């Protein structure tokens, strides 16, 4: 990660917690923005997938949250920060198939227990911290082939 890299785009998107009213809207916007910035489609798709999974988890489990998108010429940085119940056992939550989804979440089509492992698999850097009763923070970085950006 290059923390001194020039940020060419930065935006914070609020995400409603415990509600599916707007579920998926942030990841749709993120994908459109990245495509507008001429980010290669494969990279934009990966960024949209990790954003979507983080967004749906906030919609499912948190009280409220936000997603921060930052783009530099070399990488896409996505942070998902929420306030809510937090995760007691991160190692267990990271396992494929682990889910505490309720019937309501199931009925929305979620709760396979794949979101966090997808986020880890589709990002080049993945970091999660959580505090029970406080909330959860995710940071994910996807590297861009630096030949592509800036040719807009």
Contact partner, 99, from ligand ATP, Mg ion, none, Cβ < 5-8 Å per class: ligand ATP
Q: Does 17 bind ligand ATP (CB under 6 A)?
A: no
Burial class (CB in 10 A: 0-12, 13-18, 19+), 35: middle
Q: Does 111 bind ligand ATP (CB under 6 A)?
A: yes
Note whether 94 and 36 are within 8 A (CB). no
DSSP state of 141: E
CA nearest neighbour of 31 among 50, 12, 58, 16? 50
Q: Does 100 bind ligand ATP (CB under 6 A)?
A: yes
Choosing from 51, 72, 99, 123, the residue that interacts with ligand ATP (CB under 6 A) is 99
**CB closer to ligand ATP out of 110 and 149:** 110
Note whether 40 and 109 are within 8 A (CB). no
Site for Mg ion in 126-145 (CB under 5 A): none
Site for Mg ion in 50-109 (CB under 5 A): 57
Stretch that binds ligand ATP, among 29-37, 41-49, 91-99, 140-148 (CB under 6 A): 91-99
C-alpha 64/C-alpha 81 separation (Å) is 9
What string marks each residue from 24 to 63 as x (binds ligand ATP by CB under 6 A) or -? -----------------------------x---xx-xxx-
CA nearest neighbour of 108 among 32, 28, 22? 22
C-alpha 95/C-alpha 11 separation (Å) is 30
For ligand ATP, the binding residues (CB under 6 A) are 53, 57-58, 60-62, 82, 84-87, 93, 98-101, 110-116, 136
For Mg ion, the binding residues (CB under 5 A) are 57, 115
């Amino acid at each position: 990660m290059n923390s001194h890299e020039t940020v060419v785009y930065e935006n914070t998107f609020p995400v409603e917690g415990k509600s599916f009213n707007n579920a998926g809207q942030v990841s749709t916007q993120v994908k459109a923005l990245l495509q507008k910035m001429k980010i290669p489609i494969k990279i934009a798709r990966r960024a949209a997938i990790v954003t979507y999974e983080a967004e749906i988890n906030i919609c499912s489990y948190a009280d409220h949250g936000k997603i921060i998108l930052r783009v530099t010429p070399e990488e896409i940085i996505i942070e998902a920060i929420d306030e809510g119940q937090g995760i007691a056992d991160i190692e267990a939550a990271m396992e494929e198939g682990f889910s505490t989804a309720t019937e309501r979440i199931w009925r929305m089509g979620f709760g396979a227990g794949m979101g966090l492992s997808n986020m880890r698999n589709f990002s080049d850097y993945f970091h999660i911290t959580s505090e029970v009763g406080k909330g959860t923070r995710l940071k994910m970085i996807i590297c861009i082939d630096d030949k592509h950006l800036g040719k807009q």
